[in-house]
A and B are shown apart, each in its own frame.
Chain A
Amino acid sequence: MVATALFYIFAAIATAGAIMVVAQRNPVYSALYLVLTLFALAGEYVLLMAHFIAIVHVAVYAGAIVVLFLFVIMLLNVRLEERAPDAFRYMIYAGLPMAAILFVEMGYFAFRGFQQAMVQGTRVGLVESIGRALFSQYVLPFEVASILLLVAMIGALYLSKRKLEIVAFKRPRSKKERLKVMMYEEEH
Chain B
Amino acid sequence: MTSSILLSATTWVYGLSAFLYLAAWVFHRPGLEALASWAAAVGLAANTAAFFLRWAESYWLGMGHAPLSNLYESLVFFAGMIVLVHLVVERRTGNRVIGAFSAPLAFLALAYASLSPNISDKIQPLIPALKSNWLIAHVVTCFIGYAAFAVAFGVSLMYLLRTRAAAPGRLAGRLPEPELLEEWTHRLVVFGFLFLTAGIITGAVWANTAWGRYWGWDPKETWSLITWFVYATLLHARLVSGWRGRRIAVLSLVGFGAVLFTYFGVNLLPGLHSYQTTG
**Pair from one complex:** no
Q: What is the interface of chain B, defined by CB distance below 8 A to chain A?
A: none
Q: What is the interface of chain A, defined by CB distance below 8 A to chain B?
A: none
